[in-house]
Amino acid sequence: MAFILKPTNNFTTEVTCFTPDGDKTVEWKFKAEFRVLTQKDIDEGKGNILKDALVSVSGVPTEGQVEQGALLDLLKSRPDTSAAMIRAYNDALTKKNRGSSFF
């Protein structure tokens, strides 16, 4: 299927997180779906990646079944996971364009 540019394209990317666990730091990964924030979103004060762009997550290791809304709240509240999701969003949108230059 060919790519179609829409007013809001969602994308899924891998999130790499480093979480302290006792006397060590554990690296683990999960998937997050984001909505691409537009300039209009930002102009209207809706430019918060975690609040306005994060749609869903999958592959998060949890104890038992955790409802998606509660899981998103937990991930947004932790400094390790929130920083990792912001980094993943920015990297996914900019990594392919870093080598490009019009100058």
pLDDT in tens, 30-76: 999 999 988 899 999 999 999 999 999 999 999 889 999 999 999 99
Domain boundaries defined on the chain: 10-95
pLDDT in tens, 63-89: 889 999 999 999 999 999 999 999 999
* Burial of 26 per CB tally in 10 Å (0-12, 13-18, 19+): exposed
